[in-house]
Structures are given as C-alpha cells and as structure tokens.
Amino acid sequence: MHPRSLCGLGFSSPFRVRLGAMRRSLRFWLGVFISLLFLYFALRGQRLDEVGEAIKEANYWWLIPAVAVYFVAVILRTYRWHFLLRPIKVIPLRNLFPVVVIGYMGNNIFPLRAGELIRAYVLKRNEAVSATASLATIIVERIFDGITMLIFVFAILPLVPANETLRQVIPFASLLFFGALFVFLLIASSPERFKRTYEWFISHLIPHRFQEPAGGLLDRFIEGLEVLRRGQEILLVLVISVALWLVESAKYWFVMQGFPFQRPFYVLVFTTAIVNLATTIPSTPGYLGTFELTGIWSLRLFGVAQKVATSFILVLHAALWFPVTALGFFFMWRESLTWREIETFRQRPMERRVEVPLGGDE
C-alpha cells in the first residue's frame, strides 16, 4: 500500500515519515549487505599483506594520464546527455558538465545510484528542465551503457577462456538491457497510443486527486524519450556511448602500466564491461564490493595473478572514485548547492521527489 493512502486509514503523518525512513534504511542496509558479501568473496583466501605490498610497489605516475583520460570520457558523457536533452532544451556543454560531475559524485557517496536523481534535480534547479523528462534521458543513458557493455562482451567473447558463469549471466543481461530498449523504443514510436493506455489506467486505478499529477509525470517522461523517435539519432547515441567507454577503458590501460602485468587492450575493455554490468546490482556508495569482485574475476580469466589483480582493481577503483568526487564537491560549492538541500531532496517520497517545486511552475 502506498504511504499516502495510509492517511485515509487513520495513520498520522509522523507515522508515514517513520515508515519512509524505515524503507530508506532498509534499502541502505541491503546495499551494505550486498557490498560486504561481494567484498568477502573478492578477498576470500587472499593474503592481504601481499596485496598491500603490491599496492605499495605500484608506479603511481601513471595515474596522471589515467585521470586525464577519464575526464575526457566524462566530457563525452556530457555531450551525450546534451544530445539527448536537445528535444527538450538546448543546454550548453559548459552548463551541463558541472551537473554531470555532481551526479557522479552523488553516485559515489550515496547508495542505489542516488546521484542520477540528484543530477535531474540540479538540472531542474539550474535550467528549469522538468526533472521527470531529464530522468527519462538518464534512464536512456543507462540502457545504452548496458548495451555498449554487452557489445564489448560479445565482440571479445571468442577470445575469452570458456567460463560457465559468463554463459549464465550474459543471456540475462542481454534480456534486461535489450528488452528495456525495445520497450522505450515502442513508447517513443507510439506516444499517443501509450498515452491513451496510461490515461485509462490512471482514470480507473488512481484516486482522483492524484490523477492529474500522475498524468503530468508520465507526459514529461515521454517527452524525455523524444530522441528515440529517429533512427539516425539512436545510432549517434550508440556511437557516442561506444566511444566514451573505449576512452574509459584507456584509463584501465594506463593504470595497468603501473603494475607488473601486461595484457592486450581488449582485456581491459572486457574488464570495463564486466565491472560496469555488475554496478547495476544495488550496493553501497561507489559500487564497493561489486566492482572489486567482478574486476578481479575478469582479470583472473586472463591469467593475471590474484594478488596483482586485486591490488590493480583496488587502486583503479580509488582512481575512479576520488577525482570526480572531489570535483563534484567543488561544483557543489560553486553552485551554492548545500548538503541540506540534497538531503531534503533525497528523503522526499518518490512521487514528490522528481518534480520538487523550485519556486515556480513549469
């Protein structure tokens, strides 16, 4: 039952507040449990003193080009989002880049990819773009990211040693991402038909006072799928996605230069794909645990020694986490965005969160 409907049953507002806090706490601790479980399996049977020694012996000068390359990938992400948002509003890249970075910072410090919602909120705050419409474009981004990862896996699969886990996981991931893309393409190609469908459900299943807000949310969500109505633009989004993930794979290659192992570039592309498919699993901030387990596992497939693979993945994860998080803090300060503002937004019920008022109607 929805928390708002509890009012009609005599439950007080404080009760609903406590219920919402319990649900958030449950999601958080679920993420903690999953992360700890993955970390346990990632580090099980290893001598941590040897891993620590391998980390000490790494050549950290290679992190300089690695971080520089990573921010090239972030710029490409910004351009992709700019392109997806064009049917809604044309926003200069210089205005979007800080919003993207703040969103990635949010993913790194809040659980369950809360940074994606924060990104939609900051864009609404700065550019008066519907949070629901921009959230739709962010979901499209995630779908294309997943499809790009699968393209990488399928392309490299003939070079990967036979593995039963891959044979079990890849079909499921393919169904998830390609299925989501099919549904979104169907909605985008026939928005009026989809609108008639959800209007029927809203009018028959939702209390009258919530019908207009619910219809407005779905209208704006469809608006965010506008770019999927043209095949040429879908192809361009896919090309940008492939380019940015190849650039991000280059960061893995640069970090590898500081460790005592060398593998072909396609091994780093495969590792990039595997760890980023794994980050769709709910976990604690920064994908702790899921990143480590799948990263170590993918490198072990190609014969990298366990302690070397572990030290490499730990350093790589830190190099992915710290720079964008630090820059996100800077942009928060520059945009006069406060922690209280973010926390207030994060703790809103979902139906109020995506269209939080900012001092005026859309």
Region 281-307: mean pLDDT is 87
Q: Categorize the per-residue pLDDT at 6 as very low, low, confident or very high, splitting at 50, 70 and 90.
A: very low
The upper half-sphere exposure of residue 237, i.e. CA atoms within 13 Å in the direction of its Cβ, equals 27
CA-closest candidate to residue 31, choices 325, 278, 289, 272: 289
The chain-wide mean pLDDT, for the chain, equals 84
Tell me the angle at which helices 131-156 and 265-278 cross, rounded to the nearest 10 degrees: 140
Which token pair is 131?
């949070």
CA-closest candidate to residue 120, choices 135, 139, 140: 135
Task: Please say if the pLDDT value at position 21 is more than 60.
Answer: no
The answer to whether 51 touches 250, Cβ cutoff 8 Å, is no
Q: Categorize the per-residue pLDDT at 303 as very low, low, confident or very high, splitting at 50, 70 and 90.
A: very high
Tell me what pLDDT residue 262 has.
Answer: 95
pTM for the complete prediction?
A: 0.81
Tell me what pLDDT residue 66 has.
Answer: 97
Task: Please say if the pLDDT value at position 132 is more than 50.
Answer: yes
Tell me what pLDDT residue 189 has.
Answer: 83
Long-range CB contact pairs, 39-43, < 8 A, 24+:
39/288, 39/289, 39/292, 39/293, 41/293, 42/289, 42/292, 42/293, 42/296, 42/310, 43/292, 43/310
Task: Please say if the pLDDT value at position 335 is more than 50.
Answer: yes
Q: Categorize the per-residue pLDDT at 351 as very low, low, confident or very high, splitting at 50, 70 and 90.
A: very low
DSSP annotation of 336 reads: T
How many Å apart are CA 179 and CA 113, to the nearest integer? 21
Q: Please name the residues in contact with 316: beta carbons below 8 A apart, sequence gap of 6 or more.
A: 251, 252, 255, 295
Higher pLDDT residue, 279 or 241?
A: 241
Task: Please say if the pLDDT value at position 342 is more than 50.
Answer: yes
How many Å apart are CA 198 and CA 178, to the nearest integer? 23
Region 235-254: mean pLDDT is 96
Task: Please say if the pLDDT value at position 360 is more than 50.
Answer: no
How many Å apart are CA 146 and CA 242, to the nearest integer? 11
